[in-house]
Amino acid sequence: MHNAPESESFTLAPIGYVESDYPDKFGIPRQPGLAPAADANLILVPPYNDPLTVRGLDDFSHLWVTFIFHQSPERWTPLVRPPRLGGNRKVGVFASRSTHRPNRLGLSLVKLAGIDTRQGVRLKLEGCDLVSGTPIVDIKPYLPWAEARPDASAGFAPEAPRQLQVSFSQQALETLAARADSATLHALIIQVLGQDPRPAYKREEESERVYGVRLRDVDVKFCALQNDEATTLEVVAIDEA
């Protein structure tokens, strides 16, 4: 029988970091792939930025990225309140994807859109759920034959979250139209707001409120519109930062 190596600890050093379309945590979808229009670059740092470290990786379409929730506190609790449960029911931290967890390790499955080895190593990623600056500690290719389990049960999160309808004011459309990235930014805004980033516990009491989500170099101002059938979100303004 083994004794638990309680005094053993391990030190992790980042192999790289991410530059993404998300300057802030607020608004980032809660899992990768929910906003496929979100672009990111994973930039390797020395000594890992040798093109040899990624030889053969471009034959894979998707990657597992292991990272540190560096913007989360180190403190954690055994029970957490997943936003998916409306923020008012608790589950064990290890039954959740909470960012407040021992060791602060995160895991995301992302699409690999390209590798640039002209100066160091930059991996172009699509649909990632990471704030810009997130430290990356490992990368592994995704193996669909071993890791895709469409028949698996998924507890309190059995299916992808519902997507809200998103509309744009005339002013917001005009700001978008004047930008070189208007098509991809338009798609990104719809995908991000469609996930309803408003905090669950504030939705009822602050239905009039205007929220702001920063995406790329803009601040997207939006509010909720209640009608008889459903809540929709309206982009009221897009302010360039």
Residues that bind ligand SAM (CB under 6 A): 25, 28, 30-32, 69-72, 97, 99, 106-108, 129-131, 134
In terms of CB distance, is 103 or 171 closer to ligand SAM?
A: 103
Min dist. Cβ of residue 71 to ligand SAM (A): 3
As given in the structure block, the two tokens for residue 221 are 């101002």
In terms of CB distance, is 62 or 172 closer to ligand SAM?
A: 62
DSSP 27-78: T--SSTTSSTT-EEEEEE-TTS-SGGGGTTGGG-SEEEEEEE-TTS-S---S
Tokens 């990471």 found at: 130
In terms of CB distance, is 129 or 196 closer to ligand SAM?
A: 129
In terms of CB distance, is 16 or 106 closer to ligand SAM?
A: 106
Give backbone dihedrals phi and psi of 188, rounded to 5 degrees, phi first. -65, -45
In terms of CB distance, is 73 or 150 closer to ligand SAM?
A: 73
Contact of 6 with 121, CB cutoff 8 Å: no
Min dist. Cβ of residue 35 to ligand SAM (A): 10
- CB crowding 48-68: b at 16 or more within 10 Å, else e: bbeeeebeeeeeeebbebebb
As given in the structure block, the two tokens for residue 77 are 């609790």
Min dist. Cβ of residue 143 to ligand SAM (A): 18
Min dist. Cβ of residue 66 to ligand SAM (A): 9
Min dist. Cβ of residue 64 to ligand SAM (A): 10
Report the side by side order of strands in the sheet with 166-168.
166-168, 231-240, 218-226, 210-215
End-to-end CA distance of the chain: 60
Q: Tell me 129's DSSP state.
A: -
Min dist. Cβ of residue 26 to ligand SAM (A): 7
In terms of CB distance, is 101 or 124 closer to ligand SAM?
A: 101
